Amino acid sequence: MELEADLKVAIKKGQLILHYPPKINVATQEVMGVEALVRWYHPKLGLVPPSKFIPIAEETPLISELGEWVLRESCRQNQAWQKQGYTPMKVSVNVSPQQFKLQNMLELVQDVLQETGMAPEYLVIELTERMLMDNSPEVSSVLKGLLELGVSIAIGDFGTGYSSLAYLGKFEATFLKIDQSFVSGMLTDKRLSNIVNAIIDLAHNLGMKVIAEGVETSEQLDYLRGQGCDFAQGYFVSRPIDERAIEDEFLTV
Ligand code: G
Ligand code: G
Protein backbone atom coordinates (compact mmCIF):
# COMPACT_ATOMS: atom_id res chain seq x y z
CA MET A 1 0.00 0.00 0.00
CA GLU A 2 3.00 2.23 0.43
CA LEU A 3 3.47 2.04 -3.31
CA GLU A 4 -0.08 3.32 -3.78
CA ALA A 5 0.60 6.47 -1.74
CA ASP A 6 3.90 6.95 -3.59
CA LEU A 7 2.14 6.57 -6.94
CA LYS A 8 -0.23 9.40 -6.12
CA VAL A 9 2.80 11.63 -5.52
CA ALA A 10 4.55 10.27 -8.61
CA ILE A 11 1.76 11.41 -10.94
CA LYS A 12 1.80 14.92 -9.42
CA LYS A 13 5.60 15.25 -9.31
CA GLY A 14 6.26 14.14 -12.86
CA GLN A 15 8.01 10.87 -11.97
CA LEU A 16 6.21 9.00 -14.74
CA ILE A 17 7.80 8.76 -18.16
CA LEU A 18 6.90 7.10 -21.42
CA HIS A 19 9.00 4.71 -23.45
CA TYR A 20 7.98 3.95 -26.98
CA PRO A 21 8.37 0.69 -28.92
CA PRO A 22 8.13 1.58 -32.64
CA LYS A 23 5.92 -0.35 -35.05
CA ILE A 24 6.84 -0.85 -38.67
CA ASN A 25 4.97 -1.64 -41.85
CA VAL A 26 6.09 -5.21 -42.59
CA ALA A 27 6.14 -4.73 -46.38
CA THR A 28 7.99 -1.39 -46.52
CA GLN A 29 9.79 -1.41 -43.14
CA GLU A 30 8.62 2.21 -42.65
CA VAL A 31 7.65 3.32 -39.16
CA MET A 32 3.86 3.56 -38.85
CA GLY A 33 3.69 4.51 -35.20
CA VAL A 34 4.77 4.00 -31.64
CA GLU A 35 3.12 2.50 -28.58
CA ALA A 36 3.28 4.46 -25.33
CA LEU A 37 4.41 2.40 -22.32
CA VAL A 38 4.57 4.01 -18.92
CA ARG A 39 7.52 3.71 -16.49
CA TRP A 40 8.01 5.17 -13.05
CA TYR A 41 11.25 6.72 -11.87
CA HIS A 42 10.80 6.01 -8.15
CA PRO A 43 13.15 8.12 -5.99
CA LYS A 44 14.19 5.11 -3.89
CA LEU A 45 13.41 2.07 -6.03
CA GLY A 46 14.67 3.41 -9.37
CA LEU A 47 12.91 2.50 -12.61
CA VAL A 48 9.73 0.56 -11.79
CA PRO A 49 8.15 -1.41 -14.68
CA PRO A 50 4.40 -1.08 -15.33
CA SER A 51 3.79 -4.69 -14.28
CA LYS A 52 4.69 -3.61 -10.72
CA PHE A 53 2.33 -0.65 -10.41
CA ILE A 54 -0.46 -0.80 -13.03
CA PRO A 55 -2.19 -3.71 -11.21
CA ILE A 56 -2.01 -1.70 -7.97
CA ALA A 57 -3.37 1.41 -9.67
CA GLU A 58 -6.14 -0.68 -11.24
CA GLU A 59 -7.51 -1.49 -7.80
CA THR A 60 -8.05 2.20 -7.05
CA PRO A 61 -9.32 5.32 -8.84
CA LEU A 62 -5.64 6.16 -9.41
CA ILE A 63 -5.85 4.20 -12.67
CA SER A 64 -7.92 7.07 -14.13
CA GLU A 65 -5.37 9.67 -13.14
CA LEU A 66 -2.54 7.56 -14.46
CA GLY A 67 -4.40 6.72 -17.67
CA GLU A 68 -5.26 10.36 -18.22
CA TRP A 69 -1.64 11.37 -17.80
CA VAL A 70 -0.49 8.72 -20.31
CA LEU A 71 -3.11 9.75 -22.88
CA ARG A 72 -2.36 13.46 -22.56
CA GLU A 73 1.42 13.04 -22.62
CA SER A 74 1.31 10.65 -25.63
CA CYS A 75 -0.84 13.06 -27.65
CA ARG A 76 1.22 16.08 -26.58
CA GLN A 77 4.47 14.40 -27.63
CA ASN A 78 3.11 13.11 -30.93
CA GLN A 79 1.70 16.52 -31.83
CA ALA A 80 5.03 18.13 -30.85
CA TRP A 81 6.80 15.79 -33.31
CA GLN A 82 4.36 16.75 -36.05
CA LYS A 83 4.90 20.45 -35.32
CA GLN A 84 8.66 19.93 -35.58
CA GLY A 85 8.05 18.73 -39.12
CA TYR A 86 8.51 14.98 -38.68
CA THR A 87 6.40 12.71 -40.86
CA PRO A 88 3.17 12.14 -38.88
CA MET A 89 2.66 8.74 -37.30
CA LYS A 90 0.25 7.10 -34.90
CA VAL A 91 0.60 6.74 -31.15
CA SER A 92 -1.14 3.89 -29.31
CA VAL A 93 -2.21 4.16 -25.71
CA ASN A 94 -3.13 1.19 -23.49
CA VAL A 95 -6.36 1.65 -21.58
CA SER A 96 -7.30 -0.54 -18.61
CA PRO A 97 -10.83 -1.91 -18.39
CA GLN A 98 -11.07 -0.26 -14.97
CA GLN A 99 -10.42 3.13 -16.49
CA PHE A 100 -13.28 2.58 -18.93
CA LYS A 101 -15.58 1.90 -15.99
CA LEU A 102 -14.48 4.93 -13.98
CA GLN A 103 -14.66 7.69 -16.51
CA ASN A 104 -16.20 8.74 -19.78
CA MET A 105 -13.40 7.83 -22.17
CA LEU A 106 -15.11 9.42 -25.15
CA GLU A 107 -15.26 12.81 -23.46
CA LEU A 108 -11.73 12.46 -22.16
CA VAL A 109 -10.33 11.59 -25.59
CA GLN A 110 -12.20 14.49 -27.20
CA ASP A 111 -10.88 16.90 -24.56
CA VAL A 112 -7.30 15.71 -24.87
CA LEU A 113 -7.37 15.86 -28.68
CA GLN A 114 -8.70 19.39 -28.55
CA GLU A 115 -6.20 20.49 -25.90
CA THR A 116 -3.18 19.02 -27.68
CA GLY A 117 -4.33 19.75 -31.23
CA MET A 118 -3.57 16.20 -32.39
CA ALA A 119 -5.88 14.90 -35.13
CA PRO A 120 -7.94 11.81 -34.14
CA GLU A 121 -6.51 9.74 -36.99
CA TYR A 122 -3.16 9.59 -35.15
CA LEU A 123 -4.55 8.08 -31.96
CA VAL A 124 -4.93 4.34 -31.36
CA ILE A 125 -6.63 3.10 -28.21
CA GLU A 126 -5.36 -0.36 -27.25
CA LEU A 127 -7.64 -2.72 -25.39
CA THR A 128 -7.21 -6.26 -24.24
CA GLU A 129 -9.64 -9.09 -24.79
CA ARG A 130 -10.44 -8.89 -21.09
CA MET A 131 -11.95 -5.48 -21.73
CA LEU A 132 -14.09 -6.67 -24.62
CA MET A 133 -15.50 -9.58 -22.65
CA ASP A 134 -17.44 -6.97 -20.77
CA ASN A 135 -19.83 -6.35 -23.63
CA SER A 136 -21.91 -3.83 -21.73
CA PRO A 137 -23.84 -1.27 -23.80
CA GLU A 138 -21.73 1.51 -22.22
CA VAL A 139 -18.43 0.04 -23.39
CA SER A 140 -19.80 -0.65 -26.88
CA SER A 141 -21.14 2.86 -27.27
CA VAL A 142 -17.86 4.44 -26.14
CA LEU A 143 -15.89 2.28 -28.58
CA LYS A 144 -18.31 3.15 -31.38
CA GLY A 145 -18.02 6.82 -30.51
CA LEU A 146 -14.23 6.65 -30.63
CA LEU A 147 -14.33 5.03 -34.07
CA GLU A 148 -16.79 7.67 -35.30
CA LEU A 149 -14.40 10.37 -34.09
CA GLY A 150 -11.72 8.82 -36.30
CA VAL A 151 -9.71 7.22 -33.49
CA SER A 152 -8.46 3.66 -34.15
CA ILE A 153 -9.01 0.72 -31.82
CA ALA A 154 -6.50 -2.11 -31.42
CA ILE A 155 -7.20 -5.41 -29.67
CA GLY A 156 -4.09 -6.65 -27.90
CA ASP A 157 -2.99 -10.04 -26.58
CA PHE A 158 -5.30 -11.69 -29.08
CA GLY A 159 -5.80 -15.37 -28.49
CA THR A 160 -4.61 -15.47 -24.89
CA GLY A 161 -6.63 -16.25 -21.81
CA TYR A 162 -9.97 -14.67 -22.29
CA SER A 163 -10.55 -15.94 -25.79
CA SER A 164 -13.90 -15.44 -27.25
CA LEU A 165 -14.56 -14.89 -30.90
CA ALA A 166 -18.03 -13.58 -30.11
CA TYR A 167 -17.02 -9.96 -29.75
CA LEU A 168 -15.24 -9.93 -33.11
CA GLY A 169 -18.64 -10.51 -34.67
CA LYS A 170 -20.15 -7.52 -32.92
CA PHE A 171 -17.43 -5.00 -32.96
CA GLU A 172 -15.25 -3.51 -35.62
CA ALA A 173 -11.70 -2.87 -34.41
CA THR A 174 -9.07 -1.31 -36.62
CA PHE A 175 -6.14 -3.51 -35.59
CA LEU A 176 -5.78 -7.01 -34.19
CA LYS A 177 -2.49 -7.70 -32.39
CA ILE A 178 -1.07 -11.23 -32.45
CA ASP A 179 0.29 -12.06 -29.03
CA GLN A 180 4.04 -12.59 -28.78
CA SER A 181 3.55 -16.10 -27.38
CA PHE A 182 2.44 -17.19 -30.88
CA VAL A 183 5.08 -15.17 -32.73
CA SER A 184 8.02 -16.35 -30.63
CA GLY A 185 7.43 -20.04 -31.38
CA MET A 186 5.94 -19.88 -34.87
CA LEU A 187 9.13 -20.82 -36.77
CA THR A 188 9.75 -23.98 -34.78
CA ASP A 189 6.22 -25.11 -33.98
CA LYS A 190 3.86 -25.81 -36.86
CA ARG A 191 0.84 -25.51 -34.59
CA LEU A 192 1.82 -21.97 -33.68
CA SER A 193 2.48 -20.93 -37.28
CA ASN A 194 -0.92 -22.34 -38.23
CA ILE A 195 -2.50 -20.21 -35.52
CA VAL A 196 -0.62 -17.11 -36.70
CA ASN A 197 -1.76 -17.70 -40.30
CA ALA A 198 -5.33 -18.23 -39.16
CA ILE A 199 -5.36 -15.02 -37.09
CA ILE A 200 -4.05 -13.03 -40.07
CA ASP A 201 -6.74 -14.46 -42.37
CA LEU A 202 -9.46 -13.99 -39.77
CA ALA A 203 -8.50 -10.36 -39.17
CA HIS A 204 -8.29 -9.57 -42.87
CA ASN A 205 -11.63 -11.22 -43.56
CA LEU A 206 -13.17 -8.98 -40.91
CA GLY A 207 -11.56 -5.84 -42.35
CA MET A 208 -8.91 -5.45 -39.66
CA LYS A 209 -5.17 -4.86 -40.05
CA VAL A 210 -2.80 -7.16 -38.18
CA ILE A 211 0.07 -6.18 -35.88
CA ALA A 212 2.49 -8.92 -34.76
CA GLU A 213 3.94 -8.40 -31.27
CA GLY A 214 7.28 -9.62 -29.96
CA VAL A 215 9.11 -9.95 -33.29
CA GLU A 216 12.76 -10.66 -32.43
CA THR A 217 14.42 -11.84 -35.65
CA SER A 218 14.55 -11.00 -39.35
CA GLU A 219 13.43 -14.59 -40.08
CA GLN A 220 10.24 -13.99 -38.10
CA LEU A 221 9.67 -10.74 -39.97
CA ASP A 222 10.22 -12.50 -43.32
CA TYR A 223 7.73 -15.20 -42.38
CA LEU A 224 5.13 -12.61 -41.36
CA ARG A 225 5.69 -10.72 -44.62
CA GLY A 226 5.05 -13.92 -46.55
CA GLN A 227 1.77 -14.38 -44.71
CA GLY A 228 0.61 -10.83 -45.45
CA CYS A 229 0.89 -9.52 -41.89
CA ASP A 230 0.58 -5.71 -42.00
CA PHE A 231 2.65 -4.36 -39.10
CA ALA A 232 5.18 -5.58 -36.55
CA GLN A 233 6.76 -4.51 -33.29
CA GLY A 234 9.25 -6.19 -30.97
CA TYR A 235 12.93 -6.23 -30.11
CA PHE A 236 13.93 -6.80 -33.77
CA VAL A 237 12.47 -3.40 -34.59
CA SER A 238 13.57 -1.85 -31.29
CA ARG A 239 13.17 -2.15 -27.55
CA PRO A 240 10.97 0.54 -26.04
CA ILE A 241 13.04 3.77 -26.06
CA ASP A 242 12.58 7.34 -24.87
CA GLU A 243 11.43 10.23 -27.05
CA ARG A 244 14.96 11.42 -27.85
CA ALA A 245 15.95 8.00 -29.14
CA ILE A 246 12.76 7.81 -31.21
CA GLU A 247 13.65 11.16 -32.78
CA ASP A 248 17.24 10.12 -33.45
CA GLU A 249 16.58 6.65 -34.78
CA PHE A 250 13.07 6.47 -36.21
CA LEU A 251 11.55 9.80 -37.18
CA THR A 252 11.94 11.18 -40.68
CA VAL A 253 11.25 14.62 -42.06
O1 G B 1 7.39 -3.96 -19.29
P2 G B 1 6.66 -3.37 -20.41
O3 G B 1 6.56 -1.89 -20.40
O4 G B 1 7.11 -3.75 -21.76
O5 G B 1 5.15 -3.86 -20.19
C6 G B 1 4.18 -3.47 -21.06
C7 G B 1 2.79 -3.77 -20.51
O8 G B 1 2.47 -2.93 -19.39
C9 G B 1 1.78 -3.41 -21.58
O10 G B 1 1.53 -4.47 -22.40
C11 G B 1 0.57 -3.05 -20.76
O12 G B 1 -0.12 -4.22 -20.41
C13 G B 1 1.16 -2.44 -19.53
N14 G B 1 1.18 -0.97 -19.69
C15 G B 1 2.24 -0.18 -20.03
N16 G B 1 1.88 1.12 -20.09
C17 G B 1 0.57 1.16 -19.76
C18 G B 1 -0.39 2.22 -19.64
O19 G B 1 -0.11 3.39 -19.84
N20 G B 1 -1.66 1.85 -19.26
C21 G B 1 -2.02 0.57 -19.05
N22 G B 1 -3.27 0.32 -18.69
N23 G B 1 -1.16 -0.46 -19.16
C24 G B 1 0.11 -0.17 -19.51
O1 G C 1 2.71 -4.66 -24.35
P2 G C 1 2.62 -6.05 -23.82
O3 G C 1 1.80 -6.30 -22.63
O4 G C 1 2.18 -7.00 -24.91
O5 G C 1 4.12 -6.45 -23.45
C6 G C 1 4.40 -7.64 -22.80
C7 G C 1 5.86 -7.75 -22.45
O8 G C 1 6.62 -8.25 -23.55
C9 G C 1 6.49 -6.45 -22.06
O10 G C 1 7.19 -6.61 -20.86
C11 G C 1 7.44 -6.14 -23.21
O12 G C 1 8.60 -5.45 -22.81
C13 G C 1 7.81 -7.52 -23.71
N14 G C 1 8.23 -7.52 -25.10
C15 G C 1 7.85 -6.69 -26.09
N16 G C 1 8.46 -7.00 -27.25
C17 G C 1 9.24 -8.09 -26.98
C18 G C 1 10.12 -8.89 -27.77
O19 G C 1 10.32 -8.69 -28.96
N20 G C 1 10.73 -9.92 -27.13
C21 G C 1 10.54 -10.19 -25.82
N22 G C 1 11.19 -11.23 -25.28
N23 G C 1 9.73 -9.46 -25.04
C24 G C 1 9.09 -8.41 -25.62
Banded model confidence at residue 135, pLDDT cuts 50, 70, 90: low
Q: Which ligand lies nearest the alpha carbon of 71?
A: 1
Whether residue 167 has pLDDT greater than 80: no
**What pLDDT, on a 0 to 100 scale, did the predictor assign at position 163?**
52
Q: Whose CA is nearest to atom 8 of ligand 2?
A: 214
Q: Whose CA is nearest to atom 17 of ligand 2?
A: 214
Give Cβ neighbours of residue 190 (< 8 Å, ≥ 6 apart). none
Whether residue 248 has pLDDT greater than 80: yes
CA of 55 from ligand 1 middle (Å) equals: 10
Domain ranges of the chain: 2-249
Whether residue 158 has pLDDT greater than 90: no
> Is any ligand 2 atom within 6 A of the Cβ of residue 159?
no
Q: Which ligand lies nearest the alpha carbon of 16?
A: 1
**Candidates 180, 217, 220: which one to mutate for ligand 2, based on the most atoms within 8 Å of Cβ?**
180
> Is any ligand 2 atom within 6 A of the Cβ of residue 216?
yes
Banded model confidence at residue 122, pLDDT cuts 50, 70, 90: very high
CA of 141 from ligand 2 middle (Å) equals: 30
ipTM: 0.93
**What pLDDT, on a 0 to 100 scale, did the predictor assign at position 26?**
98
Give the position, in ligand 1's atom list, of the atom nearest the Cα of 95: 22
Whether residue 103 has pLDDT greater than 90: no
**What pLDDT, on a 0 to 100 scale, did the predictor assign at position 202?**
94
Banded model confidence at residue 107, pLDDT cuts 50, 70, 90: very high
Q: Which ligand lies nearest the alpha carbon of 238?
A: 2
Looking at domain 2-249, its CATH architecture is Alpha-Beta Barrel (3.20)
Whether residue 1 has pLDDT greater than 70: no
How confident is the model over 215-239, as a mean pLDDT?
98
**What pLDDT, on a 0 to 100 scale, did the predictor assign at position 112?**
98
DSSP secondary structure, the chain, as one string: -HHHHHHHHHHHHT-EEEEB-EEEETTT--EEEEEEEEEEEETTTEEE-HHHHHHHHHTSTHHHHHHHHHHHHHHHHHHHHHHTTPPP-EEEEE--HHHHHHS-HHHHHHHHHHHH---GGGEEEEEEHHHHH---HHHHHHHHHHHHHT-EEEEEEETSSS--SHHHHH---SEEEEPHHHHHHTTT-HHHHHHHHHHHHHHHHTT-EEEE----SHHHHHHHHHTT--EE-STTT---B-HHHHHHHT---
> Is any ligand 2 atom within 6 A of the Cβ of residue 234?
yes
> Is any ligand 2 atom within 6 A of the Cβ of residue 213?
yes
> Is any ligand 2 atom within 6 A of the Cβ of residue 161?
no
Enter the pTM of the model. 0.95
Give the position, in ligand 1's atom list, of the atom nearest the Cα of 21: 4
Most confident of the following: 22-26, 128-132, 157-161: 22-26
Q: Which ligand lies nearest the alpha carbon of 220?
A: 2
**What pLDDT, on a 0 to 100 scale, did the predictor assign at position 174?**
96
Q: How far apart are CA 127 and CA 155, in angstroms?
A: 5
- Counting Cβ atoms within 10 Å, is residue 47 exposed (0-12), middle (13-18) or buried (19+)? exposed
How confident is the model over 91-103, as a mean pLDDT?
91
**What is the CB < 6 Å shell around ligand 1?**
37-38, 49-51, 54, 67, 70, 94-96, 240
3-class DSSP state of 235: coil
* Mean pLDDT of the residues in the chain: 92
pLDDT, tens only, 12-62: 899 999 999 999 999 999 999 999 999 999 888 899 999 999 999 999 999
Whether residue 161 has pLDDT greater than 90: no
Give the position, in ligand 2's atom list, of the atom nearest the Cα of 94: 1
Does an H or E element contain 184, and which? helix 180-185
Banded model confidence at residue 164, pLDDT cuts 50, 70, 90: low
